[in-house]
Amino acid sequence: MNIPTAPLTLLLALALAGCGNTKPATTEAPVEPVIMHSGTVTMKGERDGCPLLVMLDPASSKQMLIPIGLDDKYRKEGLQLKFSYRLSRASSGECGKGTPAILEDITVIGQVQVPKQNLPDK
The predicted-structure confidence for 19-61, as pLDDT tens digits, reads as follows 555 555 666 666 666 789 999 999 988 888 999 999 999 877 8
| Amino acid symbol at 112 | V
pTM of the predicted structure, to 2 decimals? 0.67
Q: Which structural domains are found in the chain, ordered by start?
A: 37-111 (2.40.50.500)
What is the pLDDT averaged over residues 95-114?
A: 90
Parallel, antiparallel or unpaired: strands 53-56 and 64-67: antiparallel
Contacts with 75 (C-beta within 8 Å, 6 or more apart), sequence order: 41, 43, 52
- For residues 39 and 56, is the Cβ–Cβ distance under 8 A? yes
List, in sequence order, every residue forming a beta bridge with 83; answer none if it has no partner.
37
User: Over the stretch 61-100, which tens digit does the pLDDT of each residue have?
Assistant: 889 999 999 999 999 999 999 999 999 998 888 888 889 9
